[in-house]
Structure 1
Amino acid sequence: MAVCNTQYYWHDERGKKVKCTAPQYVDFVMSSVQKLVTDEDVFPTKYGREFPSSFEALVKKICRHLFHVLGHIYWAHFKETLALELHGHLNTLYAHFILFTREFSLLDPKETAVMDDLTEVLCSSPSGGSGRDGAGSGASGAQNHVKER
């Protein structure tokens, strides 16, 4: 695996911007998401407990960070997913994630624009204007189509 010069930044709990490597960034994201999802004050599981007023903003933040991780996986590790024959699973995860975030307006389209080509291939219907017949191999990305409602 080649080392790249991409610099990642994470804002710690005090709001300080910290430089980090890709593995550190992914660890920060996953740890942060785990902490939020298991926080009873953010995601209440008891009957009668209300969600916080900041719930939507927190979910949008979670989705933005997870989108960054998915983007990194495609950009830096897609060859490995192909070699391990995991690309179909990754494509399906990505398509479902994008359709979910679109349904509830959880990501800013400007921020996801960098992945629009992939999104179009994976989230459009096989005959829906993408110019592909839907029968392509995983290398072209034209598999595991999920139709948007």
Structure 2
Amino acid sequence: MALNNFLEFFQKGKTFRPKKKFAHGTIRYSLHKHACASLNSGINLRGAVKLPQGEDLNDWIAVHVVDFFNRINLIYGTIWEYCTEQTCPTMSGGVRFEYLWADGDKYKKPTKLPARDYVNLLMDWVEMQINDQALFPCTNDLPFPKNFVAQCSKILARLHRVFVHVYIHHFQNIVAIKAEAHVNTCYKHFYYFVTEFDLVSRKELEPLAEMASKIAKDPAL
């Protein structure tokens, strides 16, 4: 499933929040175009996530963090009206997995929240990280901080929880709009990327381990 098809499909529906974009003329913009071209060419996704020769790993990770943020926003935007306090009183992935929100600011202690509130706070938090030029420098003359990869791992682990919630609690809504192939492709891309660079722990990936196993065995997913 080409990236353009994915974006066109979801942009026909509701958008949870505005898309983040890369500035023209920057290395990150070029890498974003390179990544999109690889996906649209029909290349195997496992190969598409590999670091291009001669490129900086931090730049490659930065591009994908922003891209996944945008795509997961689009996916959640299609089902958020079904994700209410009544249907989803907690942010969870079935009975075994429940996620509590903490940000060290307003929520200093892990707090149980309705899924919609959790996702809203999560997206605000990720957007704040992406907009922080001390963490995501926008020009080549500014260095990445030493904790950049660790912070991106935290961002991606939390974004993965949105996949978990959508797959386990709202997949019927995704099927109803015939979007399951698009969501599967997005998750497959995400999964290959985070496992290629060991960015999300197996414990965080566990709720969708069965899905990941199917992805590995069936290239059509």
User: TM-score, normalized by length of structure 2?
Assistant: 0.54
More helix by share: 2
d(CA) in 2 for partners of 1:49, 1:4: 42
Map of 2:100 onto structure 1: 9
1:113 corresponding residue in structure 2: 206
1:61 aligned residue (151, 154, 159): 154
Alignment map for 1:81-92 (pairs within 5 Å)? 81-92=174-185
The separation in 2 between residues aligned to 1:48 and 1:5, in whole angstroms, is 46
Contact 1:101 1:107 in 2 (8 A): yes
Partner of 1:70: 163
The SS at the match of 2:175 is helix
Equivalent in 171, 191, 212 of residue 98 of structure 1: 191
Secondary structure in 1 matching 2:188 = helix
Q: Which letter does structure 2 place at the counterpart of 1:83? A: A
Distance (Å, rounded) in 1 between the aligned partners of 2:111 and 2:203: 24
The count of residues paired between Structure 1 and Structure 2 equals: 128
RMSD (CA atoms): 1.8
C-alpha separation between the residues in 2 aligned to 1:55 and 1:31? 19
Contact 1:99 1:123 in 2 (8 A): no
How far is the alpha carbon of 1:26 from its aligned partner?
A: 0.6
AA partner of residue 87 (structure 2): V
Give the SS at the match of 1:17.
coil
Identify the structure with the greater strand proportion: 1
1:139 maps to what in 2?
Answer: none
Percent of residue pairs bearing the same amino acid type: 32
Of 172, 175, 184, which residue of structure 2 is paired with 1:79? 172
1:19 matched to 2:103: no
The separation in 1 between residues aligned to 2:123 and 2:88, in whole angstroms, is: 22
Shift of 1:37: 1.0
Instruction: Please report how far the alpha carbon of residue 17 of structure 1 lies from its aligned counterpart in structure 2 after TM superposition.
Output: 2.2
| Paired letter, 2:112 | K
Which residue in 1 is equivalent to 2:139? 46
Work out the CA distance in 2 between the residues paired with 1:34 and 1:88. 27
Q: C-alpha separation between the residues in 2 aligned to 1:30 and 1:115?
A: 21
Structure 1 distance, partners of 2:110, 2:208, is 25
Counterpart contact for 1:98–1:119, Cα < 8 Å: yes
Q: Is the 8 A contact 2:89 2:113 kept in 1?
A: no
For residues 132 and 101 of structure 2, the distance between their equivalents in structure 1, rounded to whole angstroms, comes to: 21
Shift of 1:84: 0.3
Could you tell which deviates more after superposition, 11-20 or 115-124?
Answer: 11-20
- Where does the alignment leave 5 or more consecutive residues of structure 2 unmatched? 1-81, 92-98
Greater RCO structure (CA 8 Å; 6+ sep):
2
